[in-house]
Structure 1
Amino acid sequence: MAIPARLTWAVDTLDVRPGERILEIGCGRGVAAELVCDRGGRVTGLDRSATAIKAAELRNRRHLDAGLAVFRLGALEHGIGDGGYDKVFAVNVNLFWTRSPARELGLITGALAGRGALYVFYEPPGRVEELAEKVGGALAGGGFHVTTVREGNLLCVKGEVTAPA
């Protein structure tokens, strides 16, 4: 099965370093998680669908056995674990632009290690600028320093934790 270009681009944009701890919000069937592990990262995949979690575990059996991947069923507030993530990412997860994500951004900030970063990816045909503005504004309002990366119809809004005062 071919890997969607948006997922390859997302993981390439994450610039995964060996040993980094990464949380994926909305991991689906574990395709991006597999790419993260293949690059030496350690991933926790979180999804609300039991079917998706089972598929992610099947796809990533070797990474689970090696201790590089963990998959959790549930919402963000219940699945973050003990935190300490270097990077958190989500692909096509709508909570960052359809309503105020202030509560979730607070949880993510608390889960990031040091000056970690949140990466939010979308493939919004014809809506790149709209989503860049909405998501960028939400992340900035949550205390992140925001940058955006675009490639065709692909968008990444990156929020870096600002240095403590």
Structure 2
Amino acid sequence: MATPSQRLAWAASVVGTTAGERVLEVGCGHGVLAALLAERGAQVLALDRSPTMIAAADRRNRAAVEAGRVRLQASTLLEADLGGGPFDVVVSFDVRAFWDAGAPTTWGVVDRVLAPGGRVVVAFSLMTPGTERAVVDAVTRTAADRGLVVRAVHRGRTAPMESAAVELRRAPDRSGPAVPGGS
């Protein structure tokens, strides 16, 4: 298997999963990050809307899929079958749905599936000046509507371009999604 890109190896270190954690990766592409997280002992559900990318991710992660450490779905986040309990970590790399016009709907799904005490890592490439501030601001605003607060902003000197990641957790006064009709 080829050596993972600096960007995805860096992202895996930022996520920092531990054995047994349940991870939802949104926009998995070729499955490189899913493979790195599974190697650390995480149980990974990796989504990509492209069946071609899921086929590539399946080839890369065949042993982990067969061992039950990685599950793959050709689906958008909004249409995915996310059953089976909450996720300890939700991670994405260069998935605009976390900071563009679709963000409120995206964060609604994250809010629904994130475990109490869970975390979210939204990583992205710094392709143009001002990208970091604009993305961090958009993620911060939209995630705050779901009770998530920025814990840290990480920056990586990765090739071919630098990367950044916004790490979020639930606000201390909020342990999980609101329950309709609950008190």
Considering the TM-score relative to the shorter chain, is it more than 0.5?
yes
Aligned to 2:133: 129
- Between 91-100 and 17-26, report the one with greater CA deviation: 91-100
* TM-score using structure 2 length: 0.84
Aligned to 2:168: 159
Contact 2:147/2:174 (8 A) holds in 1: no
- Between 133-142 and 7-16, report the one with greater CA deviation: 133-142
Aligned to 1:89: 91
Rounded to whole Å, the distance in 2 between the matches of 1:101 and 1:128 is 17
Rounded to whole Å, the distance in 2 between the matches of 1:143 and 1:160 is 8
Rounded to whole Å, the distance in 1 between the matches of 2:146 and 2:174 is 14
**1:142 Cα offset (Å):** 2.8
**1:66 Cα offset (Å):** 0.8
SS state at 1:98 partner: coil
SS state at 2:78 partner: helix
SS state at 2:79 partner: helix
Deviations 1:59-92 (A, max 9, x none): 1011011110000111112214214100000000
Provide the aligned length of Structure 1 versus Structure 2: 165
**1:118 Cα offset (Å):** 1.1
Contact 1:132/1:155 (8 A) holds in 2: no
Q: Structure 1 pair 80/101, CA: closer, same or farther in 2 (3 Å)?
A: farther
* TM-score using structure 1 length: 0.93
Matched, 1:140 2:175: no
Contact 1:140/1:159 (8 A) holds in 2: no
User: Gaps spanning 5+ residues in structure 1: where?
Assistant: none
Aligned to 1:101: 103
**1:39 Cα offset (Å):** 0.6
Greater fraction of residues in helix: 1
Percent identity at matched positions? 30
